[in-house]
């Protein structure tokens, strides 16, 4: 039995989907434990690209069980679309292969509306969210006014809870944001229409996972977002509303913390960020544009251009410390080919002092100047490399510098979007 968590060490989009699909071969269950359909995880298999949002990235491997645990917020309408889209492409999904927690909270139509209203409010705080209603859904969970997937079993419970939620939401829509209000009966009708499609998947996933542990199954936990988007430990308030850090594996699944043995930190060979917020190594110049174009850095969920910059060892070391990362999976190394000299931030300078952490105060963080180490760079197509020795000397020098500055060994190196375009150095299962 092996338990492995895969987490993003930066600001998301590190290539978690690809790596989960790859390592999922040896897992019995693949589990999402936090976040929602703000995630966009892309897999490329034999030239076919699949963008997943709520369904775990093991779904393309027949015979595996995909679990959406209680820490995830689920948009039932979007999930139905995702299931139908995959089914139309021949990916069989049924109650045997997909299990969704009865305790997972639902993203309701008014959550999406509230997310959009806040983002569009000229006097408000624009975060650049994915507009999926993630924040408002987690707010209602904490306020204890949320609806859970298990509530779909009872129309009476649904009716009551929707009415309570809308009393407040409609005041905001009408009185503050000037957007149309929602009628409780319309929302109830929509929710009732989800029952037939969603309820067959809804189970007690905590017990399912506890049983799987007892049976010695291999479990892969698929993080969404990245550590710097963590609501407690990230660049608050420019974060998401969940915890992409590994502490959430336990809380979000119902397994004890000691169940987690292995943590693989996903490190993109450079950094990208979508939405607003600090980004010390951002390149707001032609080099940033070149990385964006070569790396196709446009959002899987929203299509927005991603901000790009040099790799930041301070960010990855923070993730390693917060999450107990044992090894790193380096992704998108191929994108750096032909860029000339490469840089990695080893530490920051803040008001003339050397620091090797991200200050909590945004004003201080914005004054941090990254201090770089350089590597000569490399040329040519590295997509065919399957062993370290297949890589050009310059690429190996860059990996060596990464390992030196970050202090973690690489367990795998991804050199292309396809499943096979990977150098595997360590197998977990």
Contact flag: residue 71 with ligand GDP (CB under 6 A): no
Residues 6+ apart with CB under 8 A from 7: 16, 223, 226, 227, 244, 245, 246, 263, 264, 265, 266, 319, 323, 325
Residue with tokens 């291999």: 218
Contact with ligand IMO (CB under 6 A) among 231, 274, 308, 316: 274
Residues 230, 239 contacting (CB under 8 angstroms): yes
Closest by Cα among 3, 42, 107 to 306: 42
347 counts as catalytic: no
Could you give the dihedral angle defined by the CA atoms of residues 91, 94, 97 and 103, in that order, rounded to the nearest 10 degrees?
120
CA terminus-to-terminus distance, the chain: 8
Contacts with ligand IMO by CB under 6 A: the residue count is 23
We find the least distance from the C-beta atom of residue 262 to ligand GDP, in angstroms, to be 18
Distance CA 199, CA 284 (A): 47
Catalytic one of 21, 28, 41, 151: 41
For residue 18 the two structure tokens come to 């690809």
Q: Which does 274 bind (CB under 5 to 8 A by kind): Mg ion, ligand IMO, ligand GDP, none?
A: ligand IMO
Q: Which stretch binds ligand GDP (CB under 6 A): 5-13, 81-89, 97-105, 253-261?
A: 5-13
Angle at alpha carbon of residue 9, lines to 7 and 14, rounded to 5° = 80
Contact with Mg ion (CB under 5 A) among 8, 35, 40, 265: 40
Contact with ligand IMO (CB under 6 A) among 76, 146, 150, 275: 275
Contact with ligand IMO (CB under 6 A) among 240, 253, 262, 281: 240
53 counts as catalytic: no
Could you give the dihedral angle defined by the CA atoms of residues 105, 264, 289 and 37, in that order, rounded to the nearest 10 degrees?
-10
Q: Strand 262-268 and strand 202-203: pairing?
A: unpaired
Distance CA 351, CA 376 (A): 29
We find the least distance from the C-beta atom of residue 51 to Mg ion, in angstroms, to be 9
Q: Which stretch binds ligand GDP (CB under 6 A): 10-18, 82-90, 134-142, 171-179?
A: 10-18
Contact flag: residue 38 with ligand GDP (CB under 6 A): no
Contact flag: residue 127 with ligand IMO (CB under 6 A): yes
Contact flag: residue 14 with ligand GDP (CB under 6 A): yes
Contacts with Mg ion by CB under 5 A: the residue count is 3
Closest by Cα among 203, 227, 233, 16 to 96: 203
Contact flag: residue 300 with Mg ion (CB under 5 A): yes
Q: Which does 414 bind (CB under 5 to 8 A by kind): ligand IMO, Mg ion, ligand GDP, none?
A: ligand GDP
Closest by Cα among 252, 253, 224 to 239: 224
Helices (H), 276-384: 286-294, 313-323, 362-367
Given the complex with ligand GDP, which of 231 and 335 has the nearer CB atom?
Answer: 335
Contact flag: residue 300 with ligand GDP (CB under 6 A): yes
Q: Which stretch binds ligand GDP (CB under 6 A): 96-104, 118-126, 178-186, 409-417?
A: 409-417
Contact flag: residue 158 with ligand IMO (CB under 6 A): no
Q: Strand 219-222 and strand 3-8: pairing?
A: parallel
Contacting residues toward ligand IMO, per CB under 6 A: 8, 12-13, 38-41, 127-130, 132, 134-135, 224-226, 229, 240-241, 274-275, 300
Contacting residues toward ligand GDP, per CB under 6 A: 8, 12-18, 40-42, 44, 296, 300, 331-332, 334-335, 414-417
Contacting residues toward Mg ion, per CB under 5 A: 13, 40, 300
Just list the catalytic residues: 13, 41
């Amino acid at each position: 039995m092996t338990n492995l968590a895969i987490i993003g060490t930066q600001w998301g989009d590190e290539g978690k989907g690809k790596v989960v699909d790859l390592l999922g071969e040896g897992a019995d269950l693949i589990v999402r434990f936090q976040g929602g359909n703000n995630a966009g995880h892309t897999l490329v298999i034999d030239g076919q690209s699949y963008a997943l949002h709520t369904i775990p990235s093991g779904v393309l491997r027949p015979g595996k069980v995909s679990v959406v645990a209680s820490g995830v917020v689920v948009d039932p309408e979007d999930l139905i679309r995702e299931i139908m889209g995959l089914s139309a492409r021949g990916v069989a999904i049924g109650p045997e292969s997909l299990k969704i927690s009865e305790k997972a909270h639902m993203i309701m139509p008014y959550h999406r509306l509230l997310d959009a209203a806040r983002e569009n409010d000229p006097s408000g705080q624009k975060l650049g969210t994915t507009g999926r209603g993630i924040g408002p859904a987690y707010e209602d969970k904490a306020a204890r006014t949320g609806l859970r997937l298990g509530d779909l079993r009872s129309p009476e419970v649904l009716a009551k809870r929707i009415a309570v939620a809308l009393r407040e939401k409609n005041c905001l829509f009408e009185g503050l944001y000037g957007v149309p209000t929602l009628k409780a009966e319309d929302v109830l009708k929509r929710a009732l229409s989800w029952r037939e499609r969603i309820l067959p998947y809804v189970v007690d996933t905590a017990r399912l996972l506890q049983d799987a542990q007892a049976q010695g199954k291999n479990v892969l936990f698929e993080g969404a977002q990245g550590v710097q988007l963590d609501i407690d430990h990230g660049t608050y308030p420019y974060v998401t509303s969940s915890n992409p850090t590994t502490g959430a594996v336990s809380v979000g699944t119902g397994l004890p913390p000691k169940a987690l043995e292995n943590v693989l930190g996903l490190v993109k060979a450079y950094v990208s960020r979508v939405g607003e917020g600090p980004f010390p190594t951002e390149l707001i110049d032609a080099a940033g544009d070149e990385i964006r174009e070569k790396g196709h850095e446009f959002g899987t969920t929203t299509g927005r251009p991603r901000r790009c910059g040099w790799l930041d060892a301070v960010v990855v070391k923070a993730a390693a410390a917060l999450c107990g990362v044992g090894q790193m999976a380096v992704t998108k190394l191929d994108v750096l080919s032909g860029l000339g000299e490469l840089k990695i931030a080893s530490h920051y300078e803040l008001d003339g002092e050397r620091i090797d952490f991200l200050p909590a105060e945004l004003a201080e963080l914005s004054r941090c100047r990254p201090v770089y180490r350089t590597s000569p760079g490399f040329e040519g197509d590295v997509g065919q490399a399957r062993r370290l020795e297949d890589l050009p000397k310059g690429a190996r020098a860059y990996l060596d510098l990464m390992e030196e500055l970050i202090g973690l060994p690489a367990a795998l190196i991804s050199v292309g979007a396809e499943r096979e375009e990977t150098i595997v150095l360590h197998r977990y299962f």
